[in-house]
Amino acid sequence: MPSKGNKSAKARAAATQEMGVRFGRPDLDRIGLFSEAPYISVNDPFDEKKARASALAERTKGKQFLTAPSKRGHNTKDVYFEKDFGRLFENEAYTDLVVLRRRWRQQAKERNIVPAPFKPSSIPPKPSGKGSIFGTIEQQWPLFKDSEPFPSFAETRPAEKVESKINFLTRPPKAGTGFGYPNVTIGKPPEYISTPYNAAEEAAR
């Protein structure tokens, strides 16, 4: 009769053969092998004592014994050095803002020479419209001299002098900038000289 260890080894071997079929990608798709590569732990006897004594098995038993666990939390007193929360303005006198503003106004009044506030000597007038001098500081200046008469639109004005136009030019200047336009520069244009591409060969003959 086969033992319990042999049954478990056969079961692991069968699962290993079907690893690429049911439990993952076959080696043919992963690395291009036609057969599944063997594993190191194939046909090894199962050790229950070693599995129970592993570190992973100890984690399933719950919280273990700790000598000095770390403190956690941001809204509790356990993470601070002192047991009570210390305020920044501890044991300071209360300051009333209304009393403080009243004191500032009293100190500002003591700087005044007279108790009455500043008042202008007279209310400045407002202008009555465009071109009005009412409300300005300076006096009104005359718009024209008394010796000059008012212009009248009914009087005939002398005709404006028309300047003479430019005389007719019998030979206008030549147009052009000199680049690509012949006979527009001061000197004569250079003469054309033929330069064949095979002049050296023709001279050698």
> What residue ranges do the domains of the chain occupy?
4-59
Q: Which tokens in the block code for residue 68?
A: 């000095």
Tokens of 202: 């023709």
- The per-residue pLDDT for 204 is 86
Q: What average pLDDT score do residues 116-139 get?
A: 72
What's the helix, strand, coil split of the chain in %, to 5? 25, 0, 75
- 12 within 8 A of 31, measured Cβ to Cβ: no
Question: Mean pLDDT over residues 61-65, rounded?
Answer: 72
> What confidence score (pLDDT) does residue 165 get?
82
101 or 41, greater pLDDT: 101
- The per-residue pLDDT for 5 is 56
Q: How far apart are CA 59 and CA 80, in angstroms?
A: 30
Neighbours of 106 (CB within 10 A): 9
